[in-house]
Amino acid sequence: MASAGAPGLALRLMDGAQPGAADYPGDWAAWERARIRVLADTGAWRRALQRLDERPSNLPRTFDHWAEYQQARCHLELGQAEAARQRLRALLWQRRADAADERVRRWRRAIVRSYLVGGAVEDAVTAMRRFDQDYADPGTAWAHLRGRVLLRAGRAHEAARHLAGARLDTPAARALTLLARLRSDARGASAIAQEALSAARADDADAPARARF
C-alpha cells in the first residue's frame, strides 16, 4: 500500500495490526521493520528516529542490530554526523569489527559518509583508504561514495579515473562522472556540457534525473 502511494494509510493500518511487543516481540519487530521502511521512504527521518529510540527492550538481538544501524542512517539524513558515527562505532565494537561480516562493511561505508556529511573531508579520505585496504568492494554504492569523497577532497583526476573504471549507469553516477571530468579537464567543458544535455534529454530520464544534469 505504501508503494502504491498511500504511506499514511499504510501506517494507520499498521497501528491497528501490529501486535504487542510484550507478548509477541518477534512479530512486533517484523511489523516495525516495515513501518521504519515506510517512514524512510517518505523522508520522515525524525519520526523514524523517535520510533527507533523508543523501541521496547525485549526485542530479538538481530532486530536491535538492524535498528541501531537505522538510527545511524536517520542521523546521517538529518545531518547529524557525530551522532551517526557514535552509533556506528558502537556497532563495530559489538561485532569486534569482523571484516568477514557484510554488516561491518555497511557500517564502515556509513562512517565514511558521516565524515562527508560533517565536512571532515580528509577524515573521509583516510577512512576510504582504510576501507580499500581491507576490502575489494565492487559494489556500485561504494564506487559512487568513493567518487564523492575524491571530488570533495579536490582529487578530480583520481575521481574521474575511478568513476570511468567503475562503469556506473545510474543518473546520479553519470552526473557525478561528468562533474569529475569537468573539474579535471576544463578544456573539455563544451563536450562535457553537451553530454550532460543529451543525458538530461534521454527518453529514460525522469524529472529527478534531469535535475542532476
* In a shared domain, residues 123 and 21: yes
Task: Please tell me which residue, 17 or 178, carries the higher pLDDT value.
Answer: 17
Mean pLDDT computed over 8-21: 90
* In a shared domain, residues 141 and 193: no
Do the beta carbons of residue 171 and residue 204 sit within 8 Å? no
| pLDDT of 97 strictly over 90 | no
What is the predicted pLDDT for the residue at 1? 47
Distance CA 183, CA 163 (A): 13
What is the predicted pLDDT for the residue at 164? 82
Q: Convert the pLDDT of each residue in 106-165 to its tens digit.
A: 999 999 999 999 999 999 999 999 999 988 877 788 889 999 999 999 999 999 888 887
| pLDDT of 203 strictly over 50 | no
What is the predicted pLDDT for the residue at 211? 46
* In a shared domain, residues 50 and 80: yes
Q: Is residue 2 a part of any domain in this protein?
A: no
Distance CA 64, CA 121 (A): 30
Confidence of residue 206 (pLDDT cuts 50, 70, 90): low
Mean pLDDT computed over 202-212: 51
Helices (H), the chain: 7-17, 25-41, 45-53, 61-77, 81-94, 102-117, 121-134, 140-152, 156-166, 171-184, 189-200, 207-212
Mean pLDDT computed over 98-108: 82
* DSSP letter, residue 76: H
* In a shared domain, residues 20 and 114: yes
Full-model pTM: 0.81
Distance CA 77, CA 54 (A): 19
What is the predicted pLDDT for the residue at 4? 44
Number of domains in the chain: 2
> DSSP readout, 196-209?
HHHHHT-TT--HHH
* In a shared domain, residues 176 and 126: no
- CB hemisphere CA count around 198 (13 angstroms): 8
* In a shared domain, residues 150 and 164: no
Mean pLDDT computed over 196-202: 58
The burial class, CB within 10 Å (0-12 / 13-18 / 19+), for 53 is: exposed
Mean pLDDT computed over 32-56: 96
Confidence of residue 99 (pLDDT cuts 50, 70, 90): low
Which of 53-62, 122-131, 171-180 is predicted with the least confidence, judged by mean pLDDT?
171-180
* In a shared domain, residues 103 and 121: yes
What is the predicted pLDDT for the residue at 129? 95
Whole-number CA gyration radius for the chain: 20
Residues in the chain: 213
Residue-number span of the structural domain to which 169 is assigned: 156-213
